[in-house]
Structure 1
Amino acid sequence: MSLKHAILGLLDLRPRTGYDLKKAFDDTARHFWAADRSQIYRTLAGLHADGLLEERVIAQRSRPDRHEYRLTDDGRAELQRWLRSPAPVEPSREAFLARIFFAGQADDPEVVRTLAGERRALAHERLDELRALTAHTDTFAGRLRALTLRAGILHLETELRWLDEVEAAL
C-alpha cells in the first residue's frame, strides 16, 4: 500500500484538508497506516499535480486559507484500479524484533526486559486508543472498517501475549 492510495481512499469518503487528513489517519487508520503531516502534504501536492485531486481554497478571515481536496474522476479511477489489483506481499520491517533478535549478543537479560517493558507499555497505550474508537457497522463499508479495527486490536493482544513469552524465556 502506498500513502497515495490511503489518501485517495480517505478523500473518497469526503473532501478534506491536509489537517483533516492527518486527523483521519490518527483517528481511523493508524493501526494499519501511519503518516506524518509533511508526508501527507507532499503526497497531496503530487496527487494534485497528477490530476487525481482538485483543490478548493476556502478564504478565512482570522486564519490562513483552507485548502480542501477532493477526488477527480481520474483520482476515483486510480483508487478503483488499486482496489482491484492484486495485493502484493509486503516485506516486514520491525525494528523492535530486530533488537530482540540481536539482544542475546549483549548477554544481559535486563536489556531484553527493558525492551519488552517499553514495548508492552506502548502496546497497552495503543490498545486503549483502538478500543476507544467507535466503528459503525450499519453499512458494508462500516463493517469492513470495523473489521480492520478488530485486526489492529487482535494484533496488539497477540503481541502482548508474545511479550509474556519473551519475559518467561528470560
Structure 2
Amino acid sequence: MSLRFAVLSLLDIEPGSGYDLKRRFERSVHHFWSASHQQMYRELHKLHGEGLLDCVEEIQDGRPDKKVYSLTAAGRGALEAWVAKPAAAQKIRDPFLIQVFAGHHLPPAQMRAELQRHLSEHRDKLATYEAQNARFYRRPAEQQQKLWISHQPLLLGIETEKTWIRWAEQLLARLDAEIADRDTAG
C-alpha cells in the first residue's frame, strides 16, 4: 500500500515520467522502501486508471514518446488523507539477527565471517546515504527549505546505519577476543 503513496509523494514534488520517477525513487525513498521497476510502472498505470494521476505524452525525436505523470486534485487529496492517518510503528524483521540469536551453534570464526560480510554491506549503505545527503545540501536553499521534512528519513537511515556499524564492530571485537582465547587455550 505504501508504494502508491511513495509514488504520489514523489509526483507531488515534481511531475515526471516513469523513468524520472524511478531515478527519484532510487535517490530518496529507496533507502526505506523498495520497489522494482515493474512494480513502479504497474502502480503508475493503476493510479492513472483510478484518476489520481494525469498523463501527458511528450513526443521525442528519435525516441519513443514519453509519458509524463502529475497529480490530479483527487491524487493530492488521497495523499493528504493518507498522510493525516496515524502510521503503525514497524518492527525489525532481519533474518541475520535470528542467525545471531542462534549463533551459539556456529564456531566464532564462522559467525565472525558472516558478521564481517554484513558489516561491509552496511558500510556501503552508509556511504550511499551520505552521498545522497551531500547531494541534498547542494540543492538551492529554497529547495532545501521546501523539502527539509522529506529529508528526515534519509537522516534516520544514516543514524541507523551508524548504530548498526557500531554494534557490529563491538560484536566483532568480542568474537575476536573469544577466538583468541580459544586459540591460546587449545
TM-score calculated relative to the size of structure 2: 0.82
What does 1:1-170 correspond to in 2, within 5 Å?
2-105=2-105, 107-133=106-132, 134-136=135-137, 138=142, 140-170=145-175
1:82 shift after superposition:
0.7
Cα distance in 2 between the residues matched to 1:146 and 1:156 = 16
Matched AA of 1:44: L
Matched AA of 1:122: E
1:84 shift after superposition:
0.5
RMSD, matched Cα = 1.8
1:36 shift after superposition:
1.6
CA contact (8 A) 1:103 1:111 kept: no
Gaps of 5+ in 1: none
Cα distance in 1 between the residues matched to 2:75 and 2:11 = 9
CA contact (8 A) 1:22 1:35 kept: no
Q: Deviations over 1:27-72 (max 9, x none)?
A: 1222222222111011111111111111111122211111111111
Count of aligned positions: 169
Cα distance in 1 between the residues matched to 2:71 and 2:77 = 9
**Pair member with larger Rg:** 2
Matched AA of 1:168: A
Cα distance in 2 between the residues matched to 1:28 and 1:154 = 16
Identity %: 34
**Larger mean Cα displacement after TM superposition, 55-64 or 150-159:** 55-64
TM-score calculated relative to the size of structure 1: 0.89
